[in-house]
Structures are given as structure tokens and as C-alpha cells.
Amino acid sequence: MDDAAVAVASANCRCSRMVYVGNIAFNASEEEARDACELIGPVLSMRLATDAATGKRKGYAFVEYADDATAQSACRNLQGHLLRGRPLRVGLADSDRARRRKAEHDPVGLEDAIHAACLVSGRPPAASITRLLATASRHHLRETVSTFESMGAEACKALKEQVPGLAGAMEQVQHLLDMAAADDAAEEARRNKRAASAAEESDQHAKLRKVEDGGKAAARPILPCF
């Protein structure tokens, strides 16, 4: 796909209407979290992740909006919103993408890079940047952010102002990392669901065996004693 095709794909990107909202303060109520998400638009559903064993919150939620445009707006405008003093992290949550989740050192791919490009506020990143980021891995992207931020807030701000396109590129990188966090959370939720289903099935089998064993004991004839 050449730069022109990438630019067209970014402009017409159809994403997910489900978003991942992370870094939720543990002392924030479900109502507070929902109210924050509804600053962007009506929330159709919200699922706060909890530990199956303890019931304690895990600090993130999956939120469904009415359409992908509202979900994209949430990624742009809810990002960094303070809830109980903690900045929210927001990324697109796509179940299909999560199922084909890539390893830490695999390239993120052009599809994800295009999704991230359409979330950038202001002027869209150059198509060449999108193609370059598509070849990077999650590990590489995290190292890039870490190296950039190690220069200090003032230096980062100055560079973004002086280097054309840098601010958009770094925002695109962060969106890719937030999407990766959403994929990890979705995969964890699937693993927990499979484990719960397996435990329930095992429990049902155990109860069935107990009933069958009880029936066999009742049917066993009692021999008379002489």
C-alpha cells in the first residue's frame, strides 16, 4: 500500500465502537467512571473488570458507545482526563484484533497503525509515518516513548514545537500502545472466562458423579445375616 492509499484508508477508517478505559482509580465509583465516559457521549454499556476470586476492581473497564465516531472521540478527548486524581488511558478495543493479538516483538501492522492515525487530534500524521510505525513492535514503541520522555517535559515540548509532525507521530505511538493495552485486557478477560467455564463444568461433573454413586449405593442389595 503506497502513501496515497494509506492516507485514504486513514481518512475513511472504520474502527470499533468499544473502548478500553484504563488507570481508573480503585476508589472511584462505577457512577463516577460512567459519568466521565459520558462526557464524550451516551454510553450503551460499561463493564468494570474485577478479579473473579476476590471481586476487587482491576482498574480498567470496557465501554461501548453508539458508534465508532464517538469511540474515536473518546480516545482523543478522554485521554488524560483526571478521575480521582489519576489520568485515564483510553484505547480502541476491537475483539477481532484482540483475537489475532501479536507478540511483544512482532510488528503492530498497517491496520492498527491506520486506526491509530485516525485518532490523532489536529492534523493527521503523514502516511509515511504510519507506514513506518506499522513496522515497529510494541517493545520498540515503548522504548521510543521511554527514550523521548527521558529528555524531560520541557525538552519534549520544545521538540514537538520545532520538529514538524513530531507531536502527531508521538500521539499516534501512544494510541498504538493504548490499543495494545486494550488487547491485553481483552485477552485476560477471555482467559478468565474460559477458566470460570472449565471450573463450572468440573463442578457439574463432580455433582453428577456424586448423584450416580449415590444411586448405585441405593440400588445395591442388602444381604441377610445368618
- DSSP characters over 202-217: HHHHHHHHHHHHHHHH
Specify the pLDDT at position 151. 93
Query: Between the CA atoms of 191, 192, 193 and 199, what dihedral angle is there, to the nearest 10 degrees?
Result: 110
Specify the pLDDT at position 2. 60
Specify the pLDDT at position 143. 95
Specify the pLDDT at position 219. 57
Specify the pLDDT at position 42. 95
Provide the residue-wise pLDDT of the chain in tens; the chain has 226 residues: 566 666 555 555 556 788 999 999 999 999 999 999 999 999 999 999 888 778 888 899 999 999 888 998 999 899 999 999 999 999 888 755 545 556 788 898 888 888 888 888 878 788 899 999 999 999 999 999 999 999 999 999 999 999 999 999 998 999 898 888 888 887 777 777 777 777 777 777 777 777 776 666 555 555 555 4
CA distance 106 to 109: 8
Specify the pLDDT at position 207. 76
Kindly state the helix (H) or strand (E) to which residue 9 belongs, with its residue range.
Answer: helix 3-11
Helix, strand or coil, per DSSP, at residue 226? coil
Specify the pLDDT at position 8. 58
Specify the pLDDT at position 205. 73
Q: Where are the alpha helices (DSSP H) in 15-165?
A: 30-37, 68-77, 95-99, 110-119, 127-134, 138-149, 153-162
